[in-house]
Amino acid sequence: MGVVIESSIWEPNPSLYIFIFLCCFFSIFLLPYSSNKTTSSSLFDHGFSSSFLRFQRNFLFVFSLASAMEGLWSVFGEYELVNYGASKEQMMLFLGVGYAASLFVGTFLGMLSDFIGQKKVCLVFFILHFIVGIWKRITTHSSAWVANICLSLASSIFTVNFETWAVVEHEKQGHRQDTLSDTFWLMTFFESASLVGSQVLANWLVGSNVEKGIASPYTASIFLAIIGIIFITRGWTENSTLTFKEYRTSFKTCIFGDKRIWLLICAQACIQFSIGVFWVLWAPTLVADGREVHLGLIYPCLLGARMLGSTVFPWLISGPSSFRTEDCLVYAFIVLGFVFSITAYDYQEIGVLVTLFCLFHACVGFILPSLARLRTMYVPNELRGGMISLSLAPANAAILLFLLQRGYYQNVENAVMLSFTALGLFIAAWCMHILKRWGKQPYQNGRKL
């Protein structure tokens, strides 16, 4: 008589979603009542001027739209490649081409935006998504490489230019500098929420028949791109620009000549590298040794944890017990370093891994607005895009190298990639410690205080 071994697919407890939602809600709702500063705010605070609130809401609408478009392409991207008959090595090469495009072209988009204006480059973001949507509707397999390059460039614009545009327009409209921190954590919060929303939208559009409905997200992306193009061209003004000679001189003096900015560049590169490595390896780590996991249900938990981490930012920076940003970042980077160290050398149970991954995203949700706040303190606004794009170059180069070594040549194991990521995060913590010791000489309106 044969023995039947039942296999079960691991899924997170539904109460976890409720817990994360309630934590985010109460963190946002209770902040105004516990803050000792009138400048601190939340989604429920109406202490700001109507012009600032209108500016902030308009920007967050455009940013959320862009975030949803970024998420639409990632839901069924791997399935689409498998449907085309791509092997695992080809898929890794496919990712490598995307990172190569971000490295060799995307690195200069931030500098270009500082020179010609942020609005024009942000407009290119929506145009690229519109072109890819049309391209995929009229072609099939041959569109994969072209679409991958375009989407990689759009991701580079998304990472660099929307934040820079918000800061420059914030200054141009004369809003208070201390309110920028509120916009930064809301960007991380709305980005994560939009990514979850894009997953829900894509699954609803595709339906039960994936093969027939796989093209539905492309149509949605075209529609969202048209809305974004209309909103940007009609609802936003263009910021002032510099001449090439002025920009080159300022960049050489203020960016290359300031060691504190190099510390920020190193920290930003390390966190971007860790995020890239995580999204490449999180699924293979969970399904190692033949374990069956419902990845689609874990993905919202990770982004929910990032939303929760972003709500912690105003509590620590401007809450009842304000902490210095550099101090908080030191501890956050150390925690991330230990998370990757544990994952690299000890494959835990799925529940432990998911907990570690949620902790990682919670720290990322805090780190991203914190680094944006430090950039406002140290980097002139007219050089901000170039500085951020410069910090992404080492991360893209490192990920490209590991993808080639691991996916194409099979010379590097996953544990090695995770170990190098942990080392980079510890280096980022050291950079924040040195930045604190050196003190600050902040910039405001592009000039030293």
Residue 428: per-residue pLDDT: 97
Residue 421: pLDDT over 80: yes
CA atoms within 13 A on the CB side of 140: 6
User: Tell me: the pLDDT tens digits for 234-263?
Assistant: 867 665 566 777 888 888 888 888 899 999
Number of domains in the chain: 1
Average pLDDT, the chain: 84
Percent of the chain, pLDDT > 90? 43
- Which pTM does this prediction carry? 0.90
Report residue 445's pLDDT band, with 50, 70 and 90 as the boundaries: very low
Q: Which of 157, 114, 132, 356 is nearest to 248 (CA)?
A: 114
User: Tell me: the pLDDT tens digits for 345-358?
Assistant: 866 788 889 999 99
Angle between helices 259-286 and 384-403 (to 10 degrees): 40
User: Tell me: the pLDDT tens digits for 146-195?
Assistant: 888 899 999 999 999 999 999 988 888 888 887 888 899 999 999 999 99
Question: Within its chain, how far is the Cα of 94 from the centroid?
Answer: 20
pLDDT (average), residues 402-412:
76
Q: Which of 403, 410, 167, 404 is nearest to 273 (CA)?
A: 403
Residue 441: pLDDT over 60: no
**Lowest-pLDDT range, 3-7, 95-99, 127-131, 207-211?**
3-7
Residue 286: per-residue pLDDT: 86
pLDDT (average), residues 333-339:
96
Q: Which residue has the tokens 């099979």?
A: 410
Quick check: is 74 in a domain?
yes
The 3-class SS string of the chain reads CCCCCCCCCECCCHHHHHHHHHHHHHHHHHHHHHCCCCCCCCCCCCCCCHHHHHHHHHHHHHHHHHHHHHHHHHHCHHHHHHHCCCCHHHHHHHHHHHHHHHHHCHHHHHHHHHHHCHHHHHHHHHHHHHHHHHHHHHCCCCHHHHHHHHHHHHHHHHHHHHHHHHHHHHHHCCCCHHHHHHHHHHHHHHHHHHHHHHHHHHHHHHCCCHHHHCCHHHHHHHHHHHHHHHHHHHHCCCCCCCCHHHHHHHHHHHCCCCHHHHHHHHHHHHHHHHHHHHHHHHHHHHCHHHCCECHHHHHHHHHHHHHHHHHHHHHHHHCCCCCCHHHHHHHHHHHHHHHHHHHHHCCCCHHHHHHHHHHHHHHHHHHHHHHHHHHHHHCCHHHHHHHHHHHHHHHHHHHHHHHHHHHHCCCCCHHHHHHHHHHHHHHHHHHHHHHHHHCCCCEECCEEC
**Contact (CB, 8 A) for 422 and 337:** yes
User: Tell me: the pLDDT tens digits for 308-320?
Assistant: 999 999 988 875 5
Tokens of 319: 């809450």
Report residue 73's pLDDT band, with 50, 70 and 90 as the boundaries: confident
Quick check: is 388 in a domain?
yes
Residue 43: per-residue pLDDT: 52
Q: Which residue type occupies 116? A: I
Residue 213: per-residue pLDDT: 65
Residue 293: per-residue pLDDT: 86
Residue 26: pLDDT over 50: yes
Quick check: is 402 in a domain?
yes
Quick check: is 8 in a domain?
no
Residue 45: pLDDT over 70: no
End-to-end CA distance of the chain: 82
- Measured between alpha carbons, how far is 382 from 380 in angstroms, rounded to an integer? 6
CATH number, domain of 275, equals 1.20.1250.20
**Lowest-pLDDT range, 142-151, 234-243, 328-337, 429-438?**
234-243
Quick check: is 434 in a domain?
yes
Residue 234: per-residue pLDDT: 82
Residue 217: pLDDT over 80: yes
Cα 240–Cα 112–Cα 427 angle in degrees, nearest 5: 110
> Which domain covers residue 403, as residue numbers?
51-448
Quick check: is 39 in a domain?
no
More confident of the two residues 408 and 180: 180
Report residue 42's pLDDT band, with 50, 70 and 90 as the boundaries: very low
- Measured between alpha carbons, how far is 112 from 106 in angstroms, rounded to an integer? 10
pLDDT (average), residues 67-81:
79
Quick check: is 9 in a domain?
no
**Lowest-pLDDT range, 75-84, 104-113, 317-326?**
75-84
Quick check: is 220 in a domain?
yes
User: Tell me: the pLDDT tens digits for 47-66?
Assistant: 567 888 888 999 999 999 99
Report residue 6's pLDDT band, with 50, 70 and 90 as the boundaries: very low
Q: Which residue type occupies 164? A: T
User: Tell me: the pLDDT tens digits for 198-212?
Assistant: 988 888 887 766 666
Burial class (CB in 10 A: 0-12, 13-18, 19+), 310: buried
Tokens of 209: 């028949």
Residue 1: per-residue pLDDT: 40
